[in-house]
Amino acid sequence: MEYIKIRFGDDWGRLESGFERTLDTIFRSVNPMFADCDQPWNPQMDVYETPEEFFITAEIAGVDKKDLDVEINNKAVKISGRRLPLPRAAEASFRLAEIQYGDFERVIYLPTTIDPEVAAATYTNGFLQLRLTKALSTRPRRIPISEE
């Protein structure tokens, strides 16, 4: 069984600004030649929770598991990696270029703390799935009320 790398940490450096991401999106949508450049892209994700856990699903088809990296701290998850372009004929020219290649990085900030020691990751059919357990102190708990 192969494992997905999960690192634990607090400092992930400077994230690119929303303005830089917006410019990148505009240029990629205007002209296909920008889609083939080595720029970050953002995979689509679903995040949902139960009273005990968070579940994150990332759609990253075409990314080799060895090119994935997942970092977790008690309040956030960073998923990063690289999707390499598929080979094509040298004389080919684009008519439509929608698939994004290159590096990607997404940081998901969670509304409550999690236990970074209790995390599981699977990668099947192009979907990375994370299962994160909420820290015990953040889970609601009923306490009995005694009579005096």
CB atoms within 10 A of CB 59: 12
d(CA 117, CA 29) in angstroms, rounded, equals: 40
Predicted confidence at residue 41, as pLDDT, reads 87
Classify residue 112 by its DSSP letter: S
- Domains in the chain, CATH or no CATH each: 6-10+43-84+99-138 (2.60.40.790)
> What value does the mean pLDDT take over residues 97-123?
92
Q: What pTM value is reported for the model?
A: 0.68
Residue 34 pLDDT > 90, yes or no?
A: no
> What value does the mean pLDDT take over residues 87-108?
90
Instruction: Confirm if 65 and 2 have CB atoms less than 8 A apart.
Output: yes
Read off the tokens for 104: 């990607």
Residues 6+ positions from 82 with CB-CB distance below 8 Å: 63, 67, 102, 103, 104
